[in-house]
Amino acid sequence: MARRFFNRGASPLGLPYTVARGAPSPRSAPVARSLRSLVSFFAGWCLVLATFLALSLSAQAPGPSDQTAADAAKRAAERIGALQKESEALALQERTLLVELRKLEVERELKTEELTNAERELRHTREKIAATSARAATLKNTAETQRPEVERRMVDLYKMGQAGYWRLLLDVDNLRSIGRVYRTAAALNRLDRERVQQHERTLQLLKRERETLETHVREVTKLQQQALAAKTAIDRAVAARTALVNSIDQRRDLNAQLTGELEAAQQRLQGTVAQLAGHTGPVMLPLAPFRGVLVWPAQGIVTGRFGRQTNSRFGTSIARSGIEISIAEGQPVRAIHEGTVAYSDQFTGYGNLVIIDHGDSNYSLYGYLSSIEAPRGTHVDAQAQLGTSGRDPSGNPALYFELRIDGKPVDPLQWLKK
């Protein structure tokens, strides 16, 4: 079929052919060679263009991992901002043992969050380095693939002389075919120019990828320094808090001072809960029928019970209005029953504190939180996550839980599931 087609006297591009049994005449041989060169180059150029577009899109389009990293960075920035705000507020408060202990804890949490953020950014940057290295390798291979063909075409054009493709016009003695040959020469000239430009774009893109790679390497070095500084600050804050706690345990006067401050904090909390009465919306499901079957706010071991506790070493005592649960830091803390968040903020002596109003002057309190996820005024269902567990004033991983019925503290163990 191909032979029958070409025997009609014209190529697919309209170029004249003088064909005898499929063989081109000597006059049309340069045009035929140019046509074959055009077809082969066009196929190769399309392949290179597809590769270039794929690399460009992969470099520009953000993937799921980029969005996840952005969300994590946003949460980390919000957490760091909240800790910095609390640290500034503590600096303005009167210097007490509770405030000093909280300062050291906030410093530890802040540097821990900075360390976590730096390590996360470090992992993400290393992933970007790997991706950039892969793109650079692909571009390098593409450039090496393009170079021989570009060099060959430059040699061919050099051999053809300054006139280049326009010499084809000299081989045409039919005035009617000059326009067709002119268009062919213009197309070949344009494609050769685009081939060179494409190779130059590949080299430029490779240069940018290498510059990006160098930037990422510098970022890794900076993040490693930040992580090391954060680790050092964490160790320093922990050591200072440990020294202060040891002093309290060994000195009667400091132990008595801390006990007095804890009792004062408890009285302030009592006043805060009293002020919340009647300020929140109605709750559809009452709390009283669920005595003995309420879910626990978190799974752990009760290390501090309800009622008066005495220090056997110094004889000091304090009446605890709730219980302390030993639980690993960062564990989810959940609401025991539906209600409205009446308080959601830092409270001296209890760290981050959430108070839920269950209606009819019934409240549940969740203290020592490392983070809060329930803003004030929002309605929460039973088992809704309120935040994550943190540490008590002495630095031990714990959760403080208190239950008030008719506005008065009760033993939570009588209301929670056995």
Phi and psi (nearest 5°) for 89? -70, -40
Under 8 Å CB-to-CB from 109, ≥6 apart: which residues?
83, 370, 390
Q: How far apart are CA 170 and CA 141, in angstroms?
A: 40
Tell me the pLDDT tens digit for each residue of 393-417.
988 999 999 999 988 999 999 999 9
Phi and psi (nearest 5°) for 27? -70, -35
- Distance of alpha carbon 353 from its chain centroid, rounded? 27
Q: What is the pLDDT of residue 178?
A: 54
Tell me the pLDDT tens digit for each residue of 22-57.
444 444 444 445 444 444 444 454 444 444 444 444
Whether residue 184 contacts residue 41, with contact meaning beta carbons closer than 8 Å, is answered with no
Task: Look at residue 380 and tell me whether its pLDDT is greater than 90.
Answer: yes
How many residues are listed for the chain in this entry? Answer: 418
Whether residue 331 contacts residue 389, with contact meaning beta carbons closer than 8 Å, is answered with yes
Structure tokens at 252: 């009667």
Local structure of residue 306 (DSSP, 8 states)? S
**Short-list 338, 340, 303, 337, CA closest to 323:** 303
Residues 234, 301, 287, 332, CA torsion sign: positive
Compute and round to an integer the Cα radius of gyration of the chain: 38
Secondary structure (3-state) at 305:
coil
Domain spans in the chain, listed from the N-terminal domain onward:
2-246, 262-414
Task: Look at residue 381 and tell me whether its pLDDT is greater than 90.
Answer: yes
Structure tokens at 186: 């213009």
Local structure of residue 173 (DSSP, 8 states)? -
Q: Does domain 262-414 have CATH number 2.70.70.10?
A: yes
Tell me the pLDDT tens digit for each residue of 212-252.
888 888 888 888 898 999 999 999 999 999 999 999 888 98
Mean pLDDT (the chain, rounded): 78
Q: What is the pLDDT of residue 376?
A: 92
**Short-list 344, 348, 341, CA closest to 378:** 341
Q: What is the pLDDT of residue 305?
A: 92
Q: What is the pLDDT of residue 3?
A: 39
Cα–Cα distance list, 40 to 67, 152, 385 (Å):
42, 14, 65
Instruction: Find which of 61-75, 187-201, 237-251 is predicted with most confidence, using mean pLDDT.
Output: 237-251
Q: How far apart are CA 387 and CA 298, in angstroms?
A: 11
Q: What is the pLDDT of residue 366?
A: 98
Top-confidence residue, 150 or 283: 150
Model's pTM, two decimal places? 0.67
Task: Look at residue 75 and tell me whether its pLDDT is greater than 60.
Answer: yes
Secondary structure (3-state) at 296:
coil
Which DSSP helix (H) or strand (E) runs through 59? helix 29-60
Secondary structure (3-state) at 61:
coil
CA 15, 17, 21, 25: dihedral to nearest 10 degrees?
A: -130
Q: How far apart are CA 335 and CA 357, in angstroms?
A: 11
Under 8 Å CB-to-CB from 369, ≥6 apart: which residues?
333, 351, 352, 353, 354, 386, 387, 388, 389, 390, 399
Tell me the pLDDT tens digit for each residue of 116-142.
888 888 888 888 888 888 878 887 887
End-to-end CA distance of the chain: 90
Q: What share of the chain is helix, strand, coil (3-state, %, to 5)?
A: 60, 20, 25
Tell me the pLDDT tens digit for each residue of 382-393.
999 999 999 999
